Amino acid sequence: MFKFFSLLKLPKHRQFDYQPRYYDEQKEELEARIKRRQSDNENIRAEERLRSGFRQRKTEKKKIDWGQSIFILAFSMAFVGYFYFGNVAVWGLGIFLAVYIYVRRRLS
């Protein structure tokens, strides 16, 4: 038979592919218990990590970063100094920033 040219797509023959599944109650129950046990173990591990983190945090000494305090103080002084001395205070802040950044980079 001849096949004629067509603008419409004709349906093709489809095959039915059926693969039977078997239900095994014992296997399903075992898998459910295994999943429960794994999730319980994960919860316990997460709890232990949290507790150990809190223990470590209590024992660590707090380190004070004086650099941030000095930085805020310098900006405050430059802001107030601008009203009293004008642009000289702004230039002083610029020089201070350059020295501060240089020192921080050298120490890191």
The verdict on 47 and 71 lying in the same domain is no
Q: What is the mean pLDDT of residues 40-60?
A: 74
Inform me whether the pLDDT recorded for 71 exceeds 70: yes
Q: What is the mean pLDDT of residues 11-40?
A: 81
Q: What is the mean pLDDT of residues 55-76?
A: 72
Give the model's confidence band at 57: pLDDT under 50 very low, under 70 low, under 90 confident, else very high: low
Domain membership of residue 11 (yes or no) is no
Q: What is the pLDDT of residue 61?
A: 63
d(CA 33, CA 26): 11
- Helical H segments across the chain, by residue range: 25-59, 66-85, 87-107
Inform me whether the pLDDT recorded for 52 exceeds 60: yes
The verdict on 39 and 69 lying in the same domain is no
The verdict on 95 and 55 lying in the same domain is no
Inform me whether the pLDDT recorded for 59 exceeds 60: no
d(CA 103, CA 90): 20
d(CA 82, CA 101): 22
Domain membership of residue 74 (yes or no) is yes
Q: What is the pLDDT of residue 64?
A: 66
d(CA 85, CA 94): 15
Place of tokens 């020089």: 95
Residue 33's domain comprises 21-63
**Phi, psi of 66, deg, nearest 5:** -75, -20
Domain membership of residue 106 (yes or no) is yes
Q: What is the pLDDT of residue 11?
A: 66
Domain membership of residue 4 (yes or no) is no
What's the domain count of the chain? 2
